Chain A
Amino acid sequence: MGKFTVVGTNERKVDGRALATGQPVFVGDIPPREGLLHLALLHSPHPHAVIRSINTSRAEALEGVALVLTHLNTPTVRYTTAGQGHPEPSPYDARVFDSKVRFVGDRVAAVAADSEEAARRACELIEVEYDILQPVLSLDEAMADGAPVIHDEDDALDVWAAERNCVSHMVASAGDVAVGFAECEGVVDVTCETQYAQHVPIENHIATTYLDEDDRLVIVSSTQVPFHVRRIIARVIDVPVHRIRVIKPRIGGGFGVKQEVLIEDLPALVTMRTGRPAVLEYDRAQEFVSARTRHPMRVRVKLGAKRDGILHAIEMEVWSNTGAYGTHGLTVLSNVGSKTLPLYNKAPHVKFWGEAYYTNLPVGGAYRGYGATQGYFALETAMDRLASELGIDALELRRRNHIRTGETSPIFAALGEGREGVEQTITSCELESCIDIGSDHIDWGAKRGLRHTDGDWVHGVGVSIHMQGSGIPLIDMGAASLKMNDDGSFNLSIGATDLGTGSDTILGQIAAEALGVPLEMIIVRSSDTDLTPFDVGAYASSTTYVSGMAVQRAAYDVADQIKTVAAEMLEVDANEVELTNERAGPPEGDSVSLVQVAHRSLYGVNQRQIGALASCVPELSPPPFLAAFVEVRVDVVTGKVEVVDFVAAVDCGTAINPQLAEGQVEGAVVNGIGYALMEEMIFDGKGRCRTTDLGRYKIPSISDVPPLEVVLVESFEPTGPMGAKSVSEIGINAPIPAIANAIHDATGIWLTETPFTAERVWRALNGHGS
């Protein structure tokens, strides 16, 4: 393990000053261009219908209206909005506009007009006749015999079994679970259900487009995946990739929902057809009705162990609701198992089965945790039930079973993201220390089972443990380029997408560390398809590990070039040269400054640009690990649950910037607490979302946040940049199972449906089911 200077310090974010002073750095802050057209959308009011006729003439006649787009005048290519790499694992089941609408909020038409007001008024003037079809408004309805077929079109690609609404299907196994369970002495079988939830980035989706001075299409978008946007939009609107430039400026949070290529196609089409700049911005209601959600799921977990508490057989079955389109249907489904089952690697018999189904409800997409969140609810509450069954302390049961350094799991190879996975052996795991630290903090030994009361409140403590991953092995790719300037500063250029996480900063820190310079000497530019190298973008916890490794490689390459020049200047062997404090030289003896090195290479002898371009395609996805401990209190009269204390101890390898790493976990945990206790999209009997504003869809405010302690337990991941693993998702998985287990500790009830609202808890307390 090396000693670091810039890595491991709480550097201020490189974009912090601009953000704190309110500079115009977000898409919506860009001053309107001459002739800007504003887009408004007409959404379907019906969950399932065929458009019989659509008359846009009154809308087109309205003053200020430039263009009306419908399924009659837009490309008919089938694609997926999922925003993934190529080849895309999500089915091609969507069009820009379709003659069939499949959920309330589906696109029917778009109007481009001189003002937002005119565009909205014109939408109201569009006359649409629908042939209404029977809707499918739940997972059970989707799976029922004779259910209406939601995707009956004949040109959709890669749908597993459209005739029974099944989008995707995934199985994986090791050993033989039937044999395994027969040999077990303790068996539990749990089925849990999770709700519809939305990401709620505080900045809504927004994209603006224009033609530049060379008539190329420029798309400025609040996206997590600028390079995928370029590739996908090129195909959908039939403009070559080289005629498109995508820029991601600062964006106001994403959490997965901005991986979706959700809106860019429309302003792009408008600009291509009219030659005028265009902008489309969702409002908050559209984020709920017409963006993406977390896939609601039913997950069944059966666990079997021998008397000694060592798991012997695990079976997981998953039914996922992907809504009207199959974006991320297959990959989120696979991750329910692939990011959870390897955690308990002692069981030789493991089976995973999952299917995702279409419904006429909003569309599921990528959401921080990506299936693991849903999987851990069932798995980690099943672990507590098994502990009770066997009479073993819940913490002790986990200690006996979790994966450790040097160990593997057959599931790594059997189950990946939408296909087989990649074999891997764990090379860093401090989960035991995480458990020690967290259990001390919460005082597990004293509080577990105590059921301390104050008034009507009963206290309980709960635990859950987790792993996630660091990118998608053999699929993800990140690249970085680095060049040296006259003053010994460097331009670091990366395709990686900072969505507020601080990735520009930590990638800069990695470069600074490798080059022996302070962070301010690294000028970071990211996410511009014309100016920066490729990167898949910000998803799957890939940036620190994958893009970070690309940066490290480029930086070490540049460091070697600097050492060569310095060695010539100092007449020493290049192997002896080290880079520290903006100087190059052997540890003892003379050194030269990086300014001197830069001057010599730019203006002196052997003139050339010191610089490098490097890529990383990871072979592994080393998991970060987390142990969460929570104390709750439950009001036994009303069923209200309050989190009293929460601690998350996390192993993310080297924390490149500890403060930013903590911030990732804090944000994820609080998002997870919201998901556990309060957040839920509610629909009426006609498939209409009733929770379309932040008054009705409550996300945690500062008053909802309990005392929360995040402890970074350092390890060193030998395959990661400077020993780092990724950390942005894992924290969101913990609150649901840890809180459910704590509620059981307090009251003896097992909750199997989220969120744990007062009503649901009250019903369970009073014997009305969960």
Chain B
Amino acid sequence: MIIRFQLDGSSMETDVEPGTSLLEALRGLGATSVKDGCSHGDCGTCAVLLDGRAVAACLLFAAQVDGSSIETVAGMAGEEGLHPLQSALLDAGAVQCGFCTPGILLTALELLKNNPDPDEVEVRQALAGNLCRCTGYVKIIEGVLLGADRLAGAEGGS
């Protein structure tokens, strides 16, 4: 079946089999920033923002996103290069192998949209479904809190 959706602001149209997951469809379209760590909804590496909400792309059928808007990390960075949350994670040392990073960035982005000034507990709650085997999470928490500060600062300044 033919589905149409917005991917990082661009209109996409693609033909998918009914059983194709959104994850397979996106990676098939070249949106490889969306990672596959388990295909089963257990790891969070495939997170994308579906109409602003973080969802596991491996648990959705591609057909379900017909008419929706999807954001990935590939669309996060503005003209200047890096989104403040991306630079915050890098500055905090929260990126080791980086395989979990896209899912963490998008999940954290959703958190900060709803709650611009989260505390550590709220960061932990938001990221509870995003597994990372490299970092031990300490610097991920620091990175998200730093990102929140920077985003707040940027808004305060504008």
A interface residues, Cβ below 8 angstroms from B? 10, 12-13, 15-26, 28-29, 31, 199-204, 250-253, 255, 283-284, 499-502, 659-660, 662-663, 666-671, 693-695, 699-703, 705, 708, 710
* B97:A702 contact, CB within 8 angstroms: no
Instruction: Please tell me which one of the listed residues B38, B101, B124 contacts residue A20 in the complex, with CB atoms under 8 A apart.
Output: B101
User: Contacts A202-B100, A669-B136: A22 and B33 contacting too (C-beta < 8 A)?
Assistant: yes
* A284:B37 contact, CB within 8 angstroms: yes
* B95:A16 contact, CB within 8 angstroms: yes
Beta-carbon nearest neighbor of A199 in chain B: B133
Tell me, in angstroms, the Cα distance from A17 to B105 when the chains sit together. Answer: 13
Chain B nearest CB from A283 CB (Å) reads 6
Instruction: Please tell me which one of the listed residues B30, B90, B132 contacts residue A16 in the complex, with CB atoms under 8 A apart.
Output: B90
* B93:A670 contact, CB within 8 angstroms: no
* B128:A701 contact, CB within 8 angstroms: yes
> B43 on the interface (CB 8 Å rule)?
yes
Tell me, in angstroms, the Cα distance from A710 to B87 when the chains sit together. Answer: 23
Beta-carbon nearest neighbor of A710 in chain B: B138
Instruction: Please tell me which one of the listed residues B97, B129, B140 contacts residue A203 in the complex, with CB atoms under 8 A apart.
Output: B97
**Contact-size category for B:** 35 or more
* A253:B99 contact, CB within 8 angstroms: yes
The A/B interface has a contact count, at CB < 8 Å, of 169
Chain A nearest CB from B29 CB (Å) reads 11
* B133:A200 contact, CB within 8 angstroms: yes
* A253:B82 contact, CB within 8 angstroms: no
* A253:B32 contact, CB within 8 angstroms: no
* A666:B133 contact, CB within 8 angstroms: no
Chain A nearest CB from B45 CB (Å) reads 6
* A500:B93 contact, CB within 8 angstroms: no
> B12 on the interface (CB 8 Å rule)?
no
Instruction: Please tell me which one of the listed residues A19, A20, A701 contacts residue B131 in the complex, with CB atoms under 8 A apart.
Output: A701
> B53 on the interface (CB 8 Å rule)?
no
Inter-chain pairs besides A202-B132, A203-B35, 17 sampled, C-beta below 8 Å: A17-B81, A20-B95, A20-B105, A21-B77, A22-B32, A24-B33, A28-B27, A200-B133, A202-B134, A252-B37, A253-B96, A283-B39, A666-B137, A694-B42, A702-B124, A705-B137, A708-B136
User: Contacts A17-B82, A19-B101: A705 and B136 contacting too (C-beta < 8 A)?
Assistant: yes
* A671:B133 contact, CB within 8 angstroms: yes
* A252:B82 contact, CB within 8 angstroms: no
Tell me, in angstroms, the Cα distance from A681 to B125 when the chains sit together. Answer: 27
Q: Specify which chain A residues have a CB less than 8 angstroms from the CB of B97 in the assembled complex.
A: 19, 201-203, 250-253, 499-500
Interface centre among B27, B45, B91, B136 (most CB of A within 10 A): B136
Main secondary structure of the interface of B (DSSP, over half): loop
Chain A nearest CB from B132 CB (Å) reads 7
Tell me, in angstroms, the Cα distance from A666 to B43 when the chains sit together. Answer: 20
> B89 on the interface (CB 8 Å rule)?
yes
Beta-carbon nearest neighbor of A731 in chain B: B136
- Residues of chain B from 26 to 58 with CB closer than 8 A to chain A in the complex: 27, 30, 32-40, 42-43, 45
Tell me, in angstroms, the Cα distance from A699 to B30 when the chains sit together. Answer: 30
* A20:B90 contact, CB within 8 angstroms: yes
Q: Specify which chain B residues have a CB less than 8 angstroms from the CB of A663 in the assembled complex.
A: 93, 96, 134-136, 139
Tell me, in angstroms, the Cα distance from A671 to B141 when the chains sit together. Answer: 17
* A702:B90 contact, CB within 8 angstroms: no
Q: Specify which chain B residues have a CB less than 8 angstroms from the CB of A284 in the assembled complex.
A: 37-40, 42
- Residues of chain B from 64 to 90 with CB closer than 8 A to chain A in the complex: 72-74, 76-77, 81-82, 86-87, 89-90
User: Contacts A22-B102, A694-B38: A702 and B96 contacting too (C-beta < 8 A)?
Assistant: no
Nearest first, the 4 A-B pairs at minimum CB distance are A22-B33, A500-B97, A19-B98, A252-B99
Tell me, in angstroms, the Cα distance from A16 to B34 when the chains sit together. Answer: 17
> B127 on the interface (CB 8 Å rule)?
yes
